[in-house]
A and B are shown apart, each in its own frame.
Chain A
Amino acid sequence: MLLALIARITTHGQVAYVDGMDALDPASAATAGVDLSALLWVKCGSRLRTALSAADLLARCPGFSLIVLDLDELGPVPFSAQMRLQRAVEDSDAALVVHSARHREGSPASLVVATRRLAPRWMGLHPLIRLGGLRSEVSIARSRLHSSTLSPLGRGQGEGQTWALDWSL
């Protein structure tokens, strides 16, 4: 879902990807439609403090449409750092998306989206031929946004709403 969002943003803007655990697969990104030339990839080598500092620097550089902070398994993030990031992007045109493997309780994020794997899709029966894709469930865990700003997901949708999405390999 993150790559789909980046793909959409790179059609008209620049995206900075702060990769906490160096997990980005550019081949998957290109397949998802991401314009790699509009993507700034910052690899942080599993260093949480470095990732937070890099995201903070990028959030204060006007011109990026989206800043992704991919923490994955890294953490916990100090609350002061969360507030600092929130303040940095509050008055800018950029959106900050933090990707984490675990739900961060009490984060100052305006929107918390949770994803859950439902079932993989295999091609063939006996034997299986190849992996076809994955079905996942997306839900809004918490939202402080006005309902009109949720237009990409559906106008007026709020907390507790879920969607099932299919991803193909």
Chain B
Amino acid sequence: MIRIACLLATTDVAPDPSVQRALLRVALSHSPRVEDAGGGRVYLDASGLHGLFGDEPRLAARLCDMAAAAGLTARVGIAGTRLAALAAARLGPGVTVVDPDGDAAYLAAAPLSLLDLSKDLSARLSRWGLRTLGELAALPTAGLFERLGGEGVRLQRLVRGEDPSPLVSWKPALLFEESVECEWGMETLEPVVERLGELAARVCTRLGERGLAADGWEWVCRLDEGRLHVGALAPAVPMTDGAAVAGLLRLALEARPPRGIVRALTLRARPARITAMQESLTDRSRPSPRLLTATLNRLVGLVGADSIGAPALLDSHRPDAVGLGAYAPLPISPSPGERAIRGEGRASGNTGALALRRLRPPAPAAVTLTSGRPVALRSSRLSGRIVAGVGPWRSSGEWWSKQAWLQDEWDVELADGTLCRLANDGSAWHLAGIYD
């Protein structure tokens, strides 16, 4: 026989999430099956707990005491269904146990407000003259179905002490975190890295036991005088290899070491599930995730995080509108059709596209004009007479924002045969690039 306990926080105002979490912790410390009903209400499966906590009144009293120890004022009801347990918790003296098979009788005198009814349905039942759950239970089922449909029958079954729906089990979020305290303090980086490596190995072991990996790592170093040194890293691929993670942590800490004596360390992993997939012989070759992650982190230390990644064309007509996305090599090459959709390549196998080499930033240039056309160029990179040229190709955009732009571009040929692109933004000329 199923027995359900209702743990109800008694607060005058709506309980905040911390109250709900505390209730869930109390419930979970007594039963593995716990349902989070929200609003300061938690149900737990009280069946078969007498061997651990004694009979039901003692279990209910213990739940009350544990809630009080957590700083909560709670009422407890135990019955055969959730509704009866709620009624016992809400209407009883504080700790109430309803006899087995006595749910319907117990609920008969309870008010209709105990049910979470919509405003319309509540008004309708009120117009029928119903005040208690017992009156609803006594109505003929067929007539109730004709007037309220399946919802009416469901409510009547509940108030008759029949609740066929099982508890919706709640599981706490997995927290992969390890900490260590050092009474003597760590003044140099080496012991800090060593301790973090040990923590990473422990976290990775726990992740591995659950078939998970981590796609993000955060660490907190507690320094003297209560100061904190916080850092985070996101490997290119989810990792479970403690040694590899330790290597990454070393690189990150060497790039930005804690300024002070470290008293305690905490390492936290963000778990991610990896779908096991067999590699194909026809897939594109790519670097191993571990080596790639280590190499990318070293490169980030060398050139900076904003200077490395996969180039991405931005959805803009602004000249040189490119960005850098995260580099995550895909095993499968896009098909020619996919590449055409993505706008890559003018034709399959086309190897004859003229390349422009950009100058970033564009080099300031002095351009001589005759009849509005450039005839001579002088810049730090290129100088000479212009023998041919086409333009201007005018483009503008984003006039509605602070990043408004307007630019005239010319493709010109210098006397020595060099092809280059000039740009004029209305105030000055620039050498934007050289055709290669």
Q: Do A and B come from one complex?
A: yes
CB within 8 Å of B: which residues of A?
2-4, 7-8, 10-14, 21-45, 50, 53-54, 57-58, 60-65, 72, 117-120, 122, 127-131, 133-134, 165-169
Q: How far is the CB of B345 from chain A (nearest CB, A)?
A: 4
With A3-B355, A14-B285, A38-B329 as known contacts, state yes or no: A26 contacts B312, CB within 8 Å. Answer: yes
The 8 closest A-B pairs by CB, nearest first: A63-B287, A33-B345, A4-B351, A26-B311, A32-B353, A43-B307, A61-B295, A167-B354
Contact call A40/B285, Cβ cutoff below 8 A: no
Q: Cβ of A63 and Cβ of B285 under 8 Å apart?
A: yes
Instruction: Say yes or no for B327: interface residue by CB 8 A criterion.
Output: yes
| A94: min CB distance to chain B, Å | 10
Residues of B within 8 A of A21 (CB): 360
A43 touching B355 by the CB < 8 A rule?
no
Offer 7 A-B interface pairs, CB within 8 angstroms, sorted by A: A29-B355, A34-B345, A37-B329, A39-B310, A43-B308, A44-B303, A64-B287
Chain B residues within 8 Å of chain A by Cβ, number:
58
In contact, A24 and B303 (Cβ under 8 angstroms): no
Interfacial chain A residues near B417, Cβ < 8 Å:
117-120
Contacts of B418 in A (CB 8 A): 117
Chain A contacts of B303 at CB under 8 A? 42-45, 50, 54
Q: Which of B288, B346, B433 contacts A31 (CB 8 A)?
A: B346
Which of B294, B298, B307 counts the most chain A CB atoms within 10 A?
B307
Answer whether A14 and B286 are a contact pair too, CB < 8 Å, given A25-B320, A26-B312. yes
Given contacts A25-B355, A57-B298, contact A35 B311 (CB under 8 A): no
> Are the C-beta atoms of B287 and A61 separated by less than 8 Å?
yes
Q: Once A and B bind, how many residue pairs between them come within 8 Å at the CB atom?
A: 192
* Interface residue? B313 (CB, 8 A): yes
Given A165-B352, A167-B352, also A36-B344 (CB < 8 A): yes
A134 and B417 alpha carbons, distance in the complex (Å) = 10
Interchain nearest-CB distance for B206 vs A (Å)? 29
Query: What is the CA–CA distance of A158 and B285 in the complex, to the nearest angstrom?
Result: 30
Known: A35-B334, A38-B284, A61-B287. A23 touches B360 (CB 8 A): yes
| Residues of A with C-beta under 8 A to B327 | 40
**B49 on the interface (CB 8 Å rule)?**
no
Residue numbers in B under 8 Å from A165 (CB-CB): 352
Q: Which residues of A lie under 8 Å from residue B358 when comparing CB positions?
A: 22-25
Which residues of the partner chain B approach A39 to less than 8 Å between Cβ atoms?
A: 310-311
Flag if A30 contacts B345 (CB, 8 Å): yes
Let me know if B354 and A169 touch, CB within 8 A.
yes
Q: Tell me, yes or no, whether B102 is within 8 Å of chain A by CB.
A: no
Is B411 a contact partner of A131 (Cβ separation < 8 A)?
yes
Closest to A70 in B: B357
Interface residue from A22, A26, A118 paired with B313 (Cβ < 8 Å): A26
The distance in angstroms between the C-alpha atoms of A129 and B6, with both chains bound, is 82
Q: How far is the CB of B21 from chain A (nearest CB, A)?
A: 42
**Digit string of B395-417 for contact with A (CB within 8 Å is 1, else 0)?**
00000000000000001010001
Contact (A128, B285) CB under 8 Å given A28-B354, A61-B292, A165-B352: no
A37 touches B330 (CB 8 A): yes
Q: Hey, which chain A residues are within 8 Å of B330, CB to CB?
A: 37-38
Residues of B within 8 A of A72 (CB): 357
Docked complex Cα distance between A42 and B353 (Å): 22
Instruction: Please measure, in the bound complex, the distance between the C-alpha atom of A2 and the C-alpha atom of B339, giving whole angstroms.
Output: 20
Is B355 in contact with A2, judged by CB distance below 8 angstroms?
A: yes
Contacts of A50 in B (CB 8 A): 302-303
In angstroms, Cα B411 to Cα A21, docked, is 21
Contact B353 A168 (CB under 8 A): yes
Contact between A54 and B302 (Cβ–Cβ < 8 Å)? yes
CA distance A1 to B353 in the complex (A): 9
Please tell me if the beta carbons of B390 and A32 are within 8 angstroms of each other in the complex. no
Q: B143 at interface (Cβ–Cβ under 8 A)?
A: no
> By the criterion CB–CB under 8 Å, are B311 and A63 in contact?
no
CA distance A169 to B349 in the complex (A): 15
Contact indicator per residue, chain B 280-294, by CB within 8 Å of chain A (1) or not (0) = 000011111001101
Q: Is the CB of A12 within 8 A of B285?
A: yes
